[in-house]
Chains A and B, each alone.
Chain A
């Protein structure tokens, strides 16, 4: 066992036990054990477990972004200090001061690389489990928590005639329908890249503050918006159908999460935040309370609520005009 395998072993085990768990559960409620659809649902179950486990991280990040409103004045001061200084070293100095400020206020809008890093070994593990299925099946071995029987069952299972362990590039195991593998792979690669593209595009168009839009990173990021789908498209032809299912599902989750964030908890100072403020104003709701600053703002909130109540009574006035007309 080499170094990489030793590290991957617990992840492979965890990935396979979650999948087997879902598979057992699904067969217990009456789904056919050998069906590719049962295994597909097990893979989707795995995605749901991993993404649900990451929700606390995500919520923390959203709260931190809201907390940013509290330090807007300080941020403004910092921007004025570095106004017109566009050389890289000054930008770096500004970034440094900004980070020091976040730490002082105990809020940081960035999520750190952990949420991304933590998904990677799971993805590799799944990749290894799924691409190892054919070999393990022919030699009668188990993988991680999957028994030899389950491995063989998985190896034989297919959706629309496409085996879950087949890849577009490296061929279809005997008994599989090659056309189905091609069609399914291409459809899923398209779905996967499209959802990724839409998510990125939405973030850039709606959920970035003006400062972030003006940053020098932006041009690079815009370029990546178009390069990335190509990279994943090319990568995708190497992936087994099972991995494509995983990736497509997780991208769809990200997209849904992003829609929710843009609609309900946008980044302060972004177009989405303005849209939300307008929607709330139209409904006569108070501006969103700032998380973290709630206790201090209790009085201000009460005042705002009173103002809204007043606004509501005032809003009934136009009705009198209508009555007059009638």
Chain B
């Protein structure tokens, strides 16, 4: 069932378009890697300090994933500026973007940052497989 060439073949894009989109997405993907590394290595050092849900690094990761490098960084910077001891904190989601993902391939961070939205979907799915 798993055909490694499926992803390449089913895309009608030319190699040039693929290279173009690779370059276009490169800044975003570099930022995503940096943020993932930060969340894996640096975040655990401090434990939870953030006054918001999602935490600033989770917010930044989602913002860059959903909105791209430029707008995502801007959103993340604004969130960091909001995150200080005199802000009450609370729930503060990344604004919805226009990017769409194929079924079951929503980035993990988007799922984790919007638990109420995806938790309902997940329990539905579980119910179906159980039945």
Chain A residues at the B interface, C-beta cutoff of 8 Å: 57, 60-61, 88-90, 92-93, 95-96, 98-100, 102-103, 106, 108, 110-117, 212, 217, 220-221, 223-224, 228
Contact = CB atoms under 8 A, between A and B. Distances in A.
Interface of B: 44-53, 56, 80, 83-91, 111-113, 115-116, 118-119, 122
Closest 5 CB pairs of A and B: A103-B90, A93-B115, A99-B53, A220-B44, A92-B115
A116 B89 CA distance: 17
Contacts of A111: 49, 51, 85
A115 to B, nearest CB: 7
Contact of B89 (A60, A90, A102, A212): A102
Given A93-B116, A110-B50, 20 more contacts: A57-B85, A61-B85, A89-B115, A89-B122, A90-B119, A93-B119, A96-B91, A96-B115, A99-B51, A100-B53, A106-B88, A108-B88, A108-B89, A108-B90, A112-B85, A112-B89, A113-B49, A116-B46, A217-B48, A223-B44
A63 to B, nearest CB: 10
Given A99-B90, A100-B91, A103-B91, A115 B85 contact: yes
12 contacts: A89-B115, A92-B112, A93-B115, A93-B119, A99-B53, A102-B88, A106-B88, A108-B90, A111-B85, A112-B83, A113-B49, A113-B50
Contacts of B91: 96, 99-100, 103
Contacts of B113: 92
Contact of B112 (A61, A88, A115, A217): A88
Contact of B88 (A57, A93, A98, A103): A103
B44 A217 contact: yes
A96 B48 CA distance: 13
Contacts of A100: 53, 90-91
Among B45, B47, B88, B119, max chain A CB count under 10 A is at B47
A100 B87 CA distance: 13
Contacts of A95: 53
A106 B86 CA distance: 11
